[in-house]
Structure 1
Amino acid sequence: MEKLAYRGKPNTKPTLLVVEDDETTRAQLKWALGDEYELCLATDRPSALEAFRTLRPHLALLDLRLPPRTDGPTEGLAVLDAIRELDAEAQIIVLSGQTAQETDRLALNQGACDFLRKPARLDELRDVLRCRSRCAALGREGRLPAEALLEAMPEALQGRSPQMREVLDNIRKVAATDAPVLILGETGTGKETAARTIHGLSCRAHGAFVAITCGSLREDPDADHLFCGPLAAAAPSQGGGIGSAAEGTLFLDGVHQLPLGLQARLLRILQSRAIGTIGERETDLFAARLIAATSMDLQATARTGSFLEELYYSLAVVVIQMPPLRERQEDIRTVARSLLRRFANQHRKPALAFEPDALQALERYPWPGNLRELENCLQRAVILTDCDRLRAEHLGLKPLSPRLRTPHGLKAARRDAERDTIVEALKRHAGKVSPAAAELGISRPTLYALLRKLNIERSSSSPTGASPNME
């Protein structure tokens, strides 16, 4: 153990424990980081644990290939486990030549807060260490309000169902890391809300949350500017490009719609941690945390060649599955009451409540548009209803068709419910797609895709028998 430093000493630099058996790498790290950190160098499990017990360092930089088993990550993961036993809040960054995605997941699942591969760029390493140092400081000062934030979750994340408890547990765990996250779920299930919550609970909450809708890049001639350094501010409609995420979070919504050319550019950025156009010698460091979301089976899409498989594995280090509302019926009353309070205050109505038949109708309805559709339904009811108690008739929900009461399989029942809901929405809006999509809480392209998927004849969705209006 080399160069002891004590965290309690006034006006000292943050203490960094480096666990690395390669002498050349230790020397390089000592030269590169010595001005900013009080370094303690260890070479194996015994010296690493002795140093951690003695110093209680702010940060630990851990190689996974340690003696006596340098042919794999076993010894390094054992050190990681032991440090977490000593301090559950320890900020541990794994630095290793390991390339297997499974190693990333193992390290993150066992408590590492970040994972860098050798040879790591010095500016990238410094950025990660500074970020984790801030996390350590916030944790010591009690200014990381994780529990308070979780108690005040937005409606999309409220509920006591097993599915939502798992989602919240995963959010809580992943917020403490910088690992890439892939959020899966149907349209309207709250994927962006989950991403914003991860950002708000993390040490990056002081930075920007930049959301980019990947589907719109197909028609954007300046889309390429999102992925280069000096031109990163050339797309203000997309939040200023990925460079504007700085030390915050970059959220890629509908990542399956990213064109293949931009997929390749994004993959290069993730691998090099640098933003710059081809041929440029000077590049900017990509220091943001990346969260992506999709309503598609991205792994299956990658198998067909429509999505780069290597990019999929780079994004899916941690996967969070958002359940559809129909699969968490026990949460509907909680979510609906919370939404009702919000909309009543927003529209300056007296405190509203549900009649029992309204709650029963909400629980029976299949909600193909998920939370967005529920929000639209309740906001419309609050605006249009004059009484102080909402009944089922105020919700405007179409009763289930007789065929849905026939036991012919859950998948078929969902399909029939979606079909009936879409047809009725189009009829209410005289076949106009845009207002029908808005009512359902989905985009126009999604509604058109559902029309094709569910074989909805255009003549059946318009009162006059005409095709749905394109507006």
Structure 2
Amino acid sequence: MADMRPKLLIVEDDSGLQRQLRWAYDDYRVFIAGDREEAIEFIRTEAPDVVTLDLGLPPDPDGTTEGFATLAEILQIKPDTKVIVASGHGARESALNAISGGAYDFYQKPIDIDELGLIVSRAFHVHALERENARLVEQPALDNRILGRLITAAPEMLKVARTIERVATTNISVMLLGASGTGKELLAHGLHDASNRNAQPFVAINCAAIPDTLLESELFGHEKGAFTGAVKTTPGKIEMAQGGTLFLDEVGDIPLPIQVKLLRFLQERVIERVGGRDPIAVDTRIVCATHQNLETMIAAGTFREDLYYRLAEIVIAIPTLKERSGDAVLLAKHFLTRFAKDMNPSVKGLAPDALAALDAWAWPGNVRELENRMKRAIIMADGKLVTAADLDLLPGDDEGVELINLRAAREIADRRAIRRAIARSEGNISSAAKLLGISRPTLYDLLKQYEMQA
């Protein structure tokens, strides 16, 4: 059988370290190179995703010239390679030069096998996320699949995507529930693209952004002379969505009088423009979204229960970015690729401290916050890599987590580590347990204890 393990190239001229490192990485196919020529040959023939590179290579074992030349040549041949540079020569200066030269990370000798192993593991994880991101970005924008628009590798969001794909070809009304910035309109647009109505209009209206006095006219249209300023007959959003999809964003902000008129439309599929008397039949699919708790609003009498059940034939809850394992880094890479060419072409990637900060931040503003931070960081970056400081984040910051006691802190840490391990292992429990350093039965016990799904 073919060996499907990820490929790791170790560039090291010390024969003792070669032997030690060769047997330290059972999870990878390990290749050993003792000089630049051998390293480049492996890059060309084996195309490893991750390389550990000692800067002190012959014929300059006491310096760094040959090592930096090797780094440059590796990235020229295979730019997506994650190169982890190791050196004991002028560590601080070498680290800065290595990162600015495109290295993924820097490790100061003497080598600690376990510590280096964690860096290597993370490098493979980041490379996999970037490869998935590239695959998604390369897909056509409209390919009748929700994933043509959605950038994710998180099981939590993939489950949402699959649900949307299943209901897309029906005419059932869909309600998307999620916090601000989670991508409700993007998902609604994706649902339309995957439906049989995709050749007809997708019409969106944010019900919270329009004054109550104008919302009725915006939804249902108006006849000429219906009110002051109505100088011509104007169709509303519902009518404009004939044959297609109408997306009602922030539906919880619709005032009660207009809720009554919207309910009548959903029951009879006809509208009357403001100031008009003639019924107009409209065939459109309704998708709505809100960040509010509509059940609480129903109990308070501010949202009609009968309208809720008409709109919410199926309800889909959208996870926050914090709940989407690994997606913060994936989306950050997507935004960097999307914005850097226009905003700051010299920016080529994310520094290790930025990756750590992206992974740790709670993202109270969700994807919208991430997009805004990335735009700012790209503009502010001085070097080739966006840093945690450019993102206005500190490595390891985690806003919104209040640690009440040690048990709570342990549970938060366990849940986060388990989610990341399962995401990194693509749902394989055995691999996830190995990453976590525990047995498979122990991982199953933790999943049961925390009521988590694999």
TM-score (norm 1): 0.51
277 and 220 in structure 1: CA distance in 2 versus 1, 3 angstrom threshold: same
How many Å separate the matches in 2 of 1:164 and 1:363?
17
How many Å separate the matches in 2 of 1:280 and 1:298?
31
Counterpart of 1:378 in structure 2 is: 374
* Secondary structure of residue in 2 paired with 1:357: helix
Candidates 253, 261, 267, aligned match of 1:265? 261
Counterpart of 1:290 in structure 2 is: 286
How many Å separate the matches in 1 of 2:213 and 2:156?
40
Counterpart of 2:155 in structure 1 is: 162
Determine whether 1:153 maps to 2:145: no
Structure 1 residues 33-432: aligned runs within 5 Å: 148-150=143-145, 153-154=148-149, 157-217=150-210, 219-228=211-220, 231=223, 240-277=236-273, 281-347=277-343, 349-350=345-346, 352-397=348-393, 400=397, 404=401, 406-408=403-405
Structure 2 unaligned residues grouped into runs of 5+: 1-139, 413-454
How many Å separate the matches in 1 of 2:252 and 2:300?
12
1:203 aligned partner, one-letter code: N
Is contact 2:223–2:274 with CA below 8 Å preserved after alignment? no
* Secondary structure of residue in 2 paired with 1:222: helix
Structure 1 unaligned residues grouped into runs of 5+: 1-144, 414-471
Cα deviation, residue 149, structure 1: 4.9
How many Å separate the matches in 2 of 1:270 and 1:151?
26
* 1:67-117 Cα deviation digits (max 9, x unpaired): xxxxxxxxxxxxxxxxxxxxxxxxxxxxxxxxxxxxxxxxxxxxxxxxxxx
2:214 aligned partner, one-letter code: D
Is contact 2:344–2:379 with CA below 8 Å preserved after alignment? no
RMSD: 3.1
How many Å separate the matches in 2 of 1:193 and 1:403?
26
How many Å separate the matches in 1 of 2:200 and 2:399?
52
Cα deviation, residue 282, structure 1: 2.3
* 1:355-402 Cα deviation digits (max 9, x unpaired): 221111001111100000000000111112131111212111256489
* Secondary structure of residue in 1 paired with 2:326: helix
Cα deviation, residue 186, structure 1: 0.2
Is contact 1:249–1:290 with CA below 8 Å preserved after alignment? yes
235 and 186 in structure 1: CA distance in 2 versus 1, 3 angstrom threshold: farther
Is contact 1:223–1:235 with CA below 8 Å preserved after alignment? no
How many Å separate the matches in 1 of 2:266 and 2:242?
14
321 and 231 in structure 1: CA distance in 2 versus 1, 3 angstrom threshold: farther
How many Å separate the matches in 2 of 1:229 and 1:239?
4
228 and 167 in structure 1: CA distance in 2 versus 1, 3 angstrom threshold: same
* Secondary structure of residue in 1 paired with 2:191: helix
Counterpart of 1:129 in structure 2 is: none
Counterpart of 1:36 in structure 2 is: none
How many Å separate the matches in 2 of 1:336 and 1:401?
17
Cα deviation, residue 303, structure 1: 2.2
How many Å separate the matches in 2 of 1:159 and 1:372?
15
Cα deviation, residue 193, structure 1: 0.5
Is contact 1:246–1:288 with CA below 8 Å preserved after alignment? yes
* Secondary structure of residue in 1 paired with 2:208: helix
Cα deviation, residue 406, structure 1: 3.1
2:154 aligned partner, one-letter code: S
How many Å separate the matches in 2 of 1:172 and 1:290?
16
Is contact 2:245–2:287 with CA below 8 Å preserved after alignment? yes
* Secondary structure of residue in 1 paired with 2:170: coil
* Secondary structure of residue in 2 paired with 1:247: coil
* Secondary structure of residue in 1 paired with 2:199: coil
TM-score (norm 2): 0.53
How many Å separate the matches in 1 of 2:302 and 2:386?
47
1:264 aligned partner, one-letter code: V
- Count of residue pairs brought into register by the alignment: 263
